[in-house]
Amino acid sequence: MEFLSLLTPQFFVLVAGGTMVGILFGAIPGMTATMAVAVCLPLTYSLGLVDGLALLLGLYVGGISGGLVPAILLNIPGTPSSITTTFDGYPMTQKGEGERALKLAIYASLFGGLFSLAVLYLFAPALADFAIKFSYIEKFLIILLALTVMAALSSSLIVGIFSGVLGIFISLVGTYPTSVGGNGEVRLMPEALIPYLESGFALLPVLIGVFGVAAILAEAAQGVREETAADRLRLTTGKPFSLSLFRGQGVNLVRSASIGTFVGILPGVGGSAASVLSYSQEKNFSRNPEQFGKGAPAGVIASESANNGLTGGALVPLLSLGIPGDSTTAILIGAFALQGIQVGPLFIGENPQIWNSMIVALLAANAVMFLMMYFAIRHLARLVLIPKYVLYPIILMMSVVGAYTINYGIMFDVWTLLLFGVLAFVGQKLGLEVAPFIIGFILGPAAEIYFVKSIESFGTLTIFFTKSPIAMVLWVLIALSVGLSIYLARRAAGRGPDDPAAERGA
Amino acid sequence: MDGGLSSLLAVSVDFSESHLFFPRIVFAVLVVLFLAVLVTKRREIAASAGRLRQEVRDTDRMRLLGTIGLTVAYFLTMPVVGDVYPHSGLGFYLTSIPYLFLLSLLYLHVRRGRPLLIAAVNAVVAPSVAWYVLARLFNLSLP
**pLDDT tens digits, B4-45:** 555 666 777 788 888 888 999 999 999 999 999 898 888 888
Which amino acid is present at A352?
A: P
Q: Is the pLDDT of residue A183 over 90?
A: no
Q: Does B35 contact chain A (CB < 8 Å)?
A: no
Cα angle A184-A188-A189, degrees, rounded to a multiple of 5: 100
Mean pLDDT of A354-383: 88
pLDDT band, very low/low/confident/very high, at A506 (cuts 50, 70, 90): very low
The helix or strand, by DSSP H or E, that contains position A175, with its residue range, turns out to be strand A174-175
Q: Which of A106-120, A461-475, B18-32 has the lowest mean pLDDT?
A: A461-475
Residue of B6, B104, B110, B124 to mutate when probing chain A, most A C-beta within 10 A: B104
Query: What pLDDT, on a 0 to 100 scale, did the predictor assign at position A505?
Result: 38
pLDDT band, very low/low/confident/very high, at A502 (cuts 50, 70, 90): very low
Interface confidence (ipTM) of the complex: 0.90
- Does B134 contact A220 at a Cβ distance shorter than 8 Å? no
- Does B104 contact A466 at a Cβ distance shorter than 8 Å? no
Q: Does B129 contact chain A (CB < 8 Å)?
A: no
Rg of chain B taking only CA atoms, in angstroms: 26
pLDDT band, very low/low/confident/very high, at A117 (cuts 50, 70, 90): very high
Total CB pairs under 8 A between chain A and B: 184
Cβ-based contacts of B119 with chain A (< 8 Å): 389-390
Interface of B with A in 5-34 (CB under 8 A): 5-6, 9-13, 15-16, 18-23, 25-27, 29-30, 33-34
CA–CA separation, A45 vs A12, rounded Å? 18
Angle between helices A469-495 and A136-152 (to 10 degrees): 10
CA–CA separation, A203 vs A401, rounded Å? 14
Q: Is the pLDDT of residue A504 over 50?
A: no
Closest-CA residue of B relative to A46 is B138
- Does B23 contact A186 at a Cβ distance shorter than 8 Å? no
- Does B27 contact A169 at a Cβ distance shorter than 8 Å? yes
Query: What pLDDT, on a 0 to 100 scale, did the predictor assign at position B2?
Result: 46
Count how many Cα atoms sit within 13 Å of the Cα of residue A316 in the half-sphere of its side chain: 26
Q: Is the pLDDT of residue A106 over 50?
A: yes
Q: What is the least distance, in Å, from the CA of A118 to any CA of chain B?
A: 35
Q: Which of A179-183, A228-232, A306-310, A460-464 has the lowest mean pLDDT?
A: A228-232
CA–CA separation, B34 vs A87, rounded Å? 37
- Does B26 contact A165 at a Cβ distance shorter than 8 Å? yes
**pLDDT tens digits, A87-96:** 999 898 888 8
pLDDT band, very low/low/confident/very high, at B107 (cuts 50, 70, 90): very high
Is the full-model pTM beyond 0.80? yes
pLDDT band, very low/low/confident/very high, at A236 (cuts 50, 70, 90): low
Cβ-based contacts of A448 with chain B (< 8 Å): 22-23
Angle between helices A157-171 and A434-458 (to 10 degrees): 60
Closest-CA residue of A relative to B122 is A390
Q: What is the least distance, in Å, from the CA of A475 to any CA of chain B?
A: 17
Beta carbons of A96 and A240 less than 8 angstroms apart: no
Rg of chain A taking only CA atoms, in angstroms: 22
Q: H helices of B85-113, where? A: 90-107
Q: What is the least distance, in Å, from the CA of B142 to any CA of chain A?
A: 7
Query: What pLDDT, on a 0 to 100 scale, did the predictor assign at position A234?
Result: 58
Q: Is the pLDDT of residue A257 over 90?
A: yes
Query: What pLDDT, on a 0 to 100 scale, did the predictor assign at position B55?
Result: 85
- Does B123 contact A405 at a Cβ distance shorter than 8 Å? no
- Does B63 contact A388 at a Cβ distance shorter than 8 Å? no
Mean pLDDT of A323-342: 84
Q: Is the pLDDT of residue B140 over 80?
A: no
Mean pLDDT of B54-78: 93
- List the one residue out of A181, A458, A140, A449 whose CA is nearest residue B9: A458
pLDDT band, very low/low/confident/very high, at A67 (cuts 50, 70, 90): confident
Query: What pLDDT, on a 0 to 100 scale, did the predictor assign at position A227?
Result: 63
Q: Is the pLDDT of residue A374 over 60?
A: yes
Cα angle A95-A98-A103, degrees, rounded to a multiple of 5: 135
The helix or strand, by DSSP H or E, that contains position A145, with its residue range, turns out to be helix A136-152
The helix or strand, by DSSP H or E, that contains position A467, with its residue range, turns out to be none
pLDDT band, very low/low/confident/very high, at A229 (cuts 50, 70, 90): low
Q: Is the pLDDT of residue A392 over 60?
A: yes
Query: What pLDDT, on a 0 to 100 scale, did the predictor assign at position B33?
Result: 92
Q: Is the pLDDT of residue A173 over 60?
A: yes
Q: Does B66 contact chain A (CB < 8 Å)?
A: yes
pLDDT band, very low/low/confident/very high, at A191 (cuts 50, 70, 90): confident
Between the CA of residue A502 and those of A30, A68, A269, A312, A434, what are the distances in Å? 17, 17, 11, 22, 15
- Does B60 contact A223 at a Cβ distance shorter than 8 Å? yes
**pLDDT tens digits, A7-64:** 889 999 999 999 999 998 888 776 788 888 888 887 787 788 899 999 999 999 999 9
Closest-CA residue of A relative to B139 is A46
